Structure 1
Amino acid sequence: MMVDNSTTFNQNLFSFLDASPTPFHAVQSLVAELGKQGFKPLSEQAAWGTLAAGRYYIIRNGSSLIAFTLPEACNLAEQGVRLLGAHTDSPCLKVKPRPENVSQQLWQLGVEVYGGALLNPWFDRDLSMAGRVSYLDQKGQLQHVLINFQKPLAVIPSLAIHLDREANQNRSINPQQHLPPIIMHTEPGEQPDFRALLEQQIRTEHADHPIGTVMDYEIALYDTQPAGFTGLNNDFISAARLDNLLSCYTGLQALLTASNRPAMLVCNDHEEVGSMSASGAQGNFLQSVLQRLTQTPEQYARMIANSWLISADNAHAIHPNYADRHDAAHGPLLNRGPVIKTNANQRYATNSETAAMFRHLCQQADVPVQDFVVRTDMACGSTIGPLTAGQIGIRTIDIGVPTFAMHSIRELAGSQDPYYLYSALNYFFN
């Protein structure tokens, strides 16, 4: 039964990943599913008053989302809220504001590296572009629209080994010089215009939008290879943006089952660059929403004291070719369940109380659980967990699905682990 459930779950996860090449598209995908399940949109600009029992969601910047359920006769101060936190962004290459460059009669795009990306895997891939475009319509009104070229239209070719004999021993990448992708052959004297290309794409995707002039954009490149199974027995799943859209999707599916108690899914943008933004975990998005759900500071403080947050962000599985990069006693395995992430220096928010809660929860849900602690002589990454715990004052644990090749253009996880995580979160919300 577990295999059948996880297979279907993963196939739906693949569809979500493929439809979500940017944080904007990820939120759009989440909203589409929430709408089907009866969740109603709330605007931060509008007055909420006292919300009736129901299902709601709020979007900020088009790239961050909070969705929650309020059961009948719930008392937030007494019950608190069960929260699942994740992030919508992934390391990638973003197009610069003035990206046009022609060299050797080839149109290349100037790009910036977003987040801590592994750069080598970006070479020799079939790349496309997607993102948000802001434009003036024919009436002079500012509008915003999402676009996705979908087809392969860019590539970053490697330099042939004949011209770089040391490539397999010592290959360094200069992001400014070596990463601009090629998108088109040009004729002598031709001057490409990236904004004109975006206008053309908007007309193609959104024929009903009377576009005038493109004003600005946030466009990212992505790998066109779809998500899928790999391994002789479909032991693994391979995809872009597993970190951390896997947690967003799994949290969404668990939230849809919540009925007995107040539950909330928080999907922040900008985690990969430190979370310091209006839509990041260091912004006030979550705090603002939580405060508006109560009437007095006393009720708010009691609600926070009775709440729990699971911060779900992928964990480093022990790699068979680099096992020495792990503490041998804390090397999570693929397909062996979610990982509790602990760090004595508070790079993760886990403490003994929250770890014990999650272990007990997994025990009740019949889900295996593992531990990760970084080697004592290595630096430790972080998540939205400590940021949210410090800002809100909520009990928090950091967990995640074990993963290989984190921050690569294509990551790998065990095919059983997403459903294990879903089972644990489903139990948590209910």
Structure 2
Amino acid sequence: MDKKNIWEKREAGTLQEFCEDYRVFLSGHKTERENVSGMIKELEKAGAVKLEDAISGASKPQAGDLIYADMMKKSLLVFRVGKKPLTEGARFLGAHIDSPRLDLKQHPLYEDSDLAMLDTHYYGGIKKYQWVTLPLALHGVVVRKDGTSVDICIGEKPTDPVFGVSDLLIHLAAKQMDKKVAQAVTGENLNILVGSKPLAGEESESVKKNILAILKEEYNIEEDDFVSAEIEVVPAGEARDYGFDRSMIMGYGQDDKVCAYTSFRAILDEKEPEFTSICLLTDKEEIGSVGATGMHSRFFENTLAELMNLLGCYSELELRRVLTRTKVLSSDVSAGMDPNYPEVMERKNCAYLGRGPVFNKYTGARGKSGSNDANAEYMGFLRGLLEREDISYQTAELGKVDEGGGGTIAYILANLGMEVIDFGVAVLNMHAPWEITNKADIYEAYLAYRAFLR
């Protein structure tokens, strides 16, 4: 089925304005914590009520009300109460806000060859060689043993220092160049260079001690405080317009923040939905959706139960019924066709930048292993909905059969009995430090998510 480029379909000013808002948000919110805190500010501006406050309040939530809850400041769940009873089901957008990166180890700081270094452990699926010789920034939080904390963001302001992983000079890299790409840079060698100046009067580890003195003076952080810190190493700098025509955006973490942002904006902007709207922005997808803040946790079910209780319709049986009556878009990105690497794609069944958001009926690997594989009836329902709303879309697989594969949170939601399919924006350079998306696809995804909620 031939799908056309959609750039001429939408009013250019509105599209560009929306995507500029996205670019700015993407630049300033690179981690899960930053996304949650930034989105909570937007929710409060829109009059949203925190779940705990709604529980302690005297009045029952009404149609159109916004209610939100977060899990450990790293996952966010938003409800917009619908006109219909929640017992008839909901419309659910689910995305993730974690992205591949480097994390500092619990004992990261050391000195070697008169250089101060930070030891890291990579997070998610990365090509390790892509992370060397880049300007990198440190984002996160340090929690002291007395319970006080300090937020860290170093490397984003023009006056900030940046950090990086060094690489072997080409003059001495003959053996390195003979290695397979996967072995050319190892995980244990992704160490961050952070200083080279010794502390005056110190004879041993003087460079490390100087870094500790700076951390103490500027942030009141001791070396032992790294044990209770979450510091992520991400590419430094803003997301940028990409291409002569400024038709694309290059930025860190667009898998899956491009779908998280558009889903979040959709639930904010669609103020009078028929069915209760849900937007879940979850953590840990890149490492299997594990832990208390991942999709495998009970955060979603527990919070939905609380909302049902507020609305006077909770029982364990009714909760299970609501789940089976709920329709879901797993808002996650897809691989875009790259003309530099056409050999891994099957042209009839791949996604193209600029042709609209992408349905992946199934993901997984090899024989659809680990896939949700949505049913035909649900796909037909969604096709009809989008075509009635004049919203462009395309369908794709994640590369040729047996070429690779990947997964999303879709199968976890399907395990709860909900109808679910993956639907998101096509990306180039997926999982690289700088990923590329098309502005027309971003805006069309936002319109599609709004139509789905509406």
Q: Same fold (TM over 0.5)?
A: yes
Displacement, 1:225? 2.3
Matched residue, 1:192? 208
Q: Are 2:128 and 1:104 aligned?
A: no
* Pick aligned residue for 2:254 from 242, 258, 274: 242
Q: Distance in 2 between matches of 1:415 and 1:37?
A: 25
Q: CA deviation at 1:223?
A: 1.2
Deviations 1:128-183 (A, max 9, x none): 101122124xxx4x134432123342111221111113666644334344310111
**Distance in 1 (alpha carbons) for counterparts of 2:343 and 2:225:** 55
What RMSD in Å do the two structures reach over aligned CA positions? 2.5
Greater mean alpha carbon deviation, residues 213-222 or residues 399-408: 213-222
2:277 is aligned with 1:257? no
In 2, the alpha carbon distance for the partners of 1:32 and 1:349 equals 36
**Structure 2 residue aligned with 1:75:** 85
| 1:40 to 1:129, Cα distance in 2 relative to 1, 3 A | same
- The verdict on how the C-alpha distance between 1:260 and 1:215 changes in structure 2, with shifts beyond 3 A counting, is same
- Which letter maps to 1:328? R
More helix by share: 2
Counterpart of 1:394 (choices 403, 418, 424) is 418
Identify which of 394, 406, 429 aligns with 1:381.
406
Q: Quote the residue 1:320 is aligned against.
A: 339
| 1:206-355 equivalence runs, <5 A | 216-258=228-270, 259-261=272-274, 262-294=276-308, 295-343=314-362, 344-345=368-369, 347-355=371-379
Q: How does 1:133-212 map to 2 (within 5 A)?
A: 133-136=142-145, 140=146, 142-149=147-154, 150=156, 151-165=160-174, 170=179, 171=181, 172-187=183-198, 189=204, 190=206, 192=208, 200-202=217-219
**CA separation in 1, counterparts of 2:349 and 2:291?**
33
Aligned length: 416
**Does the 8 Å contact 1:240/1:409 carry over to 2?**
yes
Matched, 1:370 2:394: yes
* Alignment gaps of 5+ in structure 1: 205-211
Q: Which runs of 5+ in 2 are unaligned?
A: 1-9, 309-313, 363-367
Distance 1:45 1:100 in 2: 44
Shift of residue 106, structure 1, vs aligned partner:
0.9
Aligned equivalent of 1:207? none
Query: Which one-letter code corresponds to 1:413 in the other structure?
Result: T
* C-alpha displacement of 1:251: 0.6
Q: Does the Cα contact within 8 Å between 2:162 and 2:236 map onto a contact in 1? A: no
TM-score for both structures, normalised by structure 1? 0.90
Which amino acid in the other structure matches residue 179 of structure 1? Answer: L
Which residue identity does 1:276 align to in structure 2? V
CA separation of 1:63 and 1:199: change in aligned 2, threshold 3 A:
farther
Q: Supply the distance in 1 between the matched residues of 2:112 and 2:225 (Cα, whole angstroms).
A: 27
Q: Does the aligned pair in 2 maintain the 1:199–1:213 contact within 8 Å? A: no
In structure 2, C-alpha distance between the alignment counterparts of 1:195 and 1:365, rounded to whole Å: 58
* Contact 2:143 2:150 survives alignment (8 Å): yes
Say yes or no: does 1:118 pair with 2:95: no
Relative distance call for 1:337 and 1:196 in structure 2 (3 A) is farther
For 1:27-46, what aligned pairs fall within 5 Å after superposition? 27-43=36-52
- Cα distance in 1 for residues equivalent to 2:245 and 2:370: 39
d(CA) in 2 for partners of 1:260 and 1:379? 39
